[in-house]
Each structure stands twice: as structure tokens, then as C-alpha cells.
Amino acid sequence: MNQQLSSAMGRTMRRQLMVAVLIGVVLLVGGYYNYAASFGFGVLLMLVNAFWLAHRLEKTQGMNARSGERSLYAGAALRFVALIAGLLLAQLVGLHLLVVAAGIFIAQAVVFVSAMKEFKQDKGESIG
């Protein structure tokens, strides 16, 4: 995989973990143990999703454009099915699905903010 892309994904995943740990600690200190577990599970779903996407991107290296596109679309469909399976698992073990969704949302918001930060740095623009 492209070294620059790999390091950007690593930074993004570290940011997701930092935010998740911070919110998780706040929930634990507040005594919301089920919420902390539910939130962490949502973030974990997105971290696994990101890792799986990175692996899929790596596999497309050297493919022609059409094959790479098919591979990425197939991977997206598989990740979606895995996400639904993860939500079903969360329901089965008694996690709070709204808080799982909040973990998913926060993790994706971190991805968005990180991507915008990387994009602005690549463009050489001021961030603040």
C-alpha cells in the first residue's frame, strides 16, 4: 500500500481510538457501564471496517481499473453485511443499540475530520 495512504489511515485510526477512550472513560466514571461497552463496540465496528477497507485497497494494487472497482464494490457490500451482523450481535448480547450507533457516528465523524485535515494539509492551506 502507498506509504502516505498507510500512515494517514494509521493516524485516523489512532484518532478514533483516542476519542473512543476519552468518551469511554467519561461514561465509565459516570457509572454508565453498559453505555461504555456499547459505545466501544460501535467504535470497534468502525475500526474493523477501516482495517478491512485498507486491506481491500492494498489488494487492488496492480489491478486494472475495472477489476479494482469491482473489488472495492464487493468489499463495500461485504463490509455492510458485516456491519449488520455486528449490530445483530450487539442486540443479542444486550448492548444499547442507540449508543452503539453513537459510537459508529463518532468514529465516522473522526474519519471525516481527519480526512479534511489531511486534504487541507495536502493542498497547503491553513487549517484554522
pLDDT given for residue 97 in this prediction: 96
Torsion angle, alpha carbons of 54, 119, 108, 15, to 10: 80
pLDDT given for residue 96 in this prediction: 96
Domain ranges of the chain: 3-122
pLDDT given for residue 30 in this prediction: 96
Torsion angle, alpha carbons of 96, 101, 106, 109, to 10: 180
CB 107 within 8 A of CB 46: yes
pLDDT given for residue 13 in this prediction: 86
Per-residue pLDDT of the chain (128 residues; tens, 9 = 90+): 556 556 777 888 889 999 999 999 999 999 999 999 999 999 999 999 988 888 887 877 877 888 878 888 888 899 999 999 999 999 999 999 999 999 999 999 998 998 888 777 777 655 54
Q: Contacts for 103-106 with beta carbons within 8 Å, 24 or more apart?
A: 103/20, 103/38, 103/39, 103/40, 103/41, 103/42, 103/43, 103/44, 103/45, 103/46, 104/42, 104/43, 104/45, 104/46, 105/42, 106/19, 106/20, 106/23, 106/39, 106/42, 106/43
What nine digits make up the cell of 1? 500500500
